[in-house]
Amino acid sequence: MAVAAALVVALTPSVAARAAAPGPVPDASAPSARTVDDVVRAWRSDAAASVLVGRSVLGRSIVAHRQGPADAPYVLLVLGQMHGSEPRGRDVVRAMAAMAPPAGVQVWTISTMNPDGAAAARRTNAHGVDPNRNFPFAWSPRYASRVYYYPGSAPATEPEVVALMAFLDQLRPDLVVSMHQHYDAVDLGGAGKTWSWAHRLSTAMRLRTAVVPCNIGTCTGTMTAWFNHTHPGVAITVELPARVPTALATAYARAILGVGALLAPPSP
């Protein structure tokens, strides 16, 4: 408890300043708002503050909430949970909902994309499919014999995955932070364009960077790999610790928003 308390104290002041501090950041450039076409910009402007992303296998709602103005040019999306047995990212999203978004950035949060798994405290969805092995980029049946990592019979078979893909295609966020547990690290396993943002998150959240392993080899069918391959923005996996007390969840939320603030160039 003393270590967690010390970390909370360390994270609280001037998160954005520490996120911008010198360090192993190969590429400091932010995704450009100019890459957003008129259709996406119009969708963002017209979207309600709460959007029904889709429904789970058992019909539960998957909802996204926006904080900040709909015409803010930069977008941060924070996904609290993909695996129902990894709940603490939802606490971070809950804490973030009470905080002001950074200037020039609209912040979207999804508490969980797997509400059936969350209700059962189970990694998979109600079909027994691991949603983070079911995305179509680099999908593989290699995990088919692993009960907790079953990728489905084909890519993008699950309603939760299809719904999130459609939402991300419409929203086109500049930065996606997807929370998992409990490897206690910011993942460096993405494309090269993710590294500068992974290091920023690592610095701000006081988590190490590491290539998060996928048990029997190369990660396949993951959301972050699909997004990084198909979109100009950046998606990063953050593996939280096993225990995240309320104060630490609040500190993590502030840290992520501090990094999100770096999406918007400073005013001249």
Task: Tell me: pLDDT of 13 over 90.
Answer: no
The boundaries of the domain holding residue 183 are 45-74+85-263
In residues, how long is the chain? 268
For residue 7, pLDDT beyond 60: no
Beta strand 234-240 with 185-187: parallel, antiparallel or unpaired?
antiparallel
CATH number assigned to the domain comprising residue 243: 3.40.630.10
Q: Which amino acid is at 100?
A: A
Q: Is 109 among the domain residues?
A: yes
What is the tens place of the pLDDT at every residue in 93-128?
Answer: 999 999 999 999 999 999 999 999 999 999 999 999
Sort residue 178 into left (φ over 0), alpha (ψ -120 to 50) or beta.
beta
The count of domains in the chain is: 1
In a domain, 207, yes or no: yes
Whether residue 213 is predicted with pLDDT greater than 90 in this model: the reply is no
Report how far residue 86's alpha carbon sits from residue 240's, in angstroms, rounded to the nearest whole number: 9
Q: Following CA atoms 170, 171, 173, 176 in sequence, which dihedral angle do they give, to the nearest 10 degrees?
A: -90
What pTM, to 2 d.p., does this model score?
Answer: 0.88
Does 35 reside within a domain? no
